[in-house]
Amino acid sequence: MFSQSPPPYGTLINQIYQQGYAALVWLDSVISPASASGNPASLSTQANLVLNTLLNGVEIINGLNIQAGVNNDYPLLQQAAAIPITYTSGMAQTIDNRITGLANLQVTLQSTLPTFISGAASGYLNLGQVAIPDINLVSILGAWTGEPTPGGYTAGNLTPYASGNQQNWVALVSGYASYLGNSPTTVLDGVVRAAQGSLAASTILQSLSIQDATTSQLSPLLVWNTAYALPATLAATRLISPSPALASDQNSMAARSFLITMAEQVAGFSILAKGLASSAGGSSGLAIITQQGQGLMDVAAQNLGNFERWNQLAGTVPAPWGAGALNPGTYITLASGSPALTQAQILGTDLNFGAQNQPIPTWTGDFQTNTGISNFRASLGRRLATTLGSLIYHQTYGSRIPPEIGEILTIGGSALITAYGQAAISADPRTQSILSATTTTINGAPNAVQFNATVQPIGPGLQPIGLNEVLSP
């Protein structure tokens, strides 16, 4: 299926390339006629493991590229700060703060980016794990608060101070250009990149028309770094183009292109396998695919209604005692004459309290209920809207989203709310997997966000559901 050969084992980039290639070889062996066992649902699960492996590799390479840009510009700005031009106090503070921020970002990336990829890809994948770790680069960058704020700055006046910071960079470029005689130097290039990155971040803030009053209660350092300093720094690093003449840059570009291209193909294969699974034996409710941490008794309890009926599961399976006795992705057929539970039995029936933030349905003489898929969707929405720990007898129920809403929604803040939502959804035992999740602002509603997710429930033959919730404090 895959004909490309990996490069020699060596640098981290090459290790990522090789691990990604090994994951593809493993998937190729799994989908061969001798190994597939006619089970498209299992193949979809295995393809998703490989897909996430490839995407995690891309994320690490992106982190390495950011690190290379920071390492390049940090010493250039240090050299620029030593040039004896006429500084205002604002100009001096602007370049000194950026130098401090770059130094701190160097430390952050150095401590979080892996130095090597260990272990055979097939070993991880056979255990139901990705073969390249997920470093969660967005969260790493979103948590960076390394650049000091300008003097007098508070969280409530972000936009004017960002504009003033940009004006300082323009003055710095002019001063250094005059001193150096406008001759192109690497030092001047570094200052120009910093100015251009700051211009991009400041322009975005002004175009968004952010109401600074909404951020006045937040940490000034967090707001400054997340909403301005980090975007400005990343925009500057992107202006450093990889050089085709350098072998290291060639490796980085080639590996990233390979991983992205193959990820697109594996994603298409996964969708195809999932479609085949929904129209094959899985849709009849007579077969299941085991999940992470399931034992045989868990399978019997969820699909046959009684853990003691584990011996009615067909096929060669291990002893039933102990959770996690089955490898994730194991294909188990229910014995003939033992029908699976219905959708209502798997996903349950609960009282219908109506849509979130809407009146309870009108009384009609009896309680209204939600059953099956509609109950699962409503339950997830209720869990997301409930503050984690607010129910004294159910301390683990709810999410951490409500306390976050009302603050300025930055890139890091959006990722944080999305992560909180994914954690809450995963806590529902009826959740098999989360296929996607995003958080966006709502025009005209500063104290609310739109949380969207696609969730795969447990149970044979069930299709993913769409979750679209408007959440507020």
Q: In whole angstroms, what separates CA 394 from the centre of its chain?
A: 28
**Alpha-carbon distance 341 to 238, whole Å?**
53
Instruction: Give me the phi and psi of 448, to 5 degrees please.
Output: -150, 155
- Structure confidence by residue, pLDDT tens digits, 78-104: 999 999 999 999 999 999 999 999 999
Residues with Cβ within 8 Å of 354's Cβ and at least 6 positions away in sequence, in order, are 360, 361
User: CA angle, corner 462, sides to 456 and 466, nearest 5?
Assistant: 45
**Closest Cα to residue 70, out of 194, 249, 243?**
194
Residues with Cβ within 8 Å of 42's Cβ and at least 6 positions away in sequence, in order, are 289, 329, 330, 331
**Alpha-carbon distance 401 to 467, whole Å?**
15
Any bridge partners for residue 289, and if so which?
331
- Kindly list the domain boundaries of the chain, sorted by start residue: 12-260, 282-339, 346-471
pTM: predicted TM-score of the whole model, two decimal places:
0.56
Compute CA distances 180 → 76, 173, 189, 194, whole Å: 14, 10, 12, 17
- Structure confidence by residue, pLDDT tens digits, 26-58: 998 887 654 444 555 677 788 889 999 999 999
Residues with Cβ within 8 Å of 116's Cβ and at least 6 positions away in sequence, in order, are 12, 15
- CATH match of 346-471 with 3.30.565.10: no
* Terminal-to-terminal C-alpha distance of the chain: 51
465-471: strand order across its sheet = 431-441, 449-457, 465-471
**Closest Cα to residue 383, out of 357, 421, 419?**
421
**Closest Cα to residue 270, out of 31, 457, 436, 26?**
31
**Alpha-carbon distance 376 to 254, whole Å?**
44
pLDDT at 90: 92
Instruction: State percent of the chain over pLDDT 90.
Output: 30
- Structure confidence by residue, pLDDT tens digits, 173-198: 999 998 987 667 899 999 999 999 99
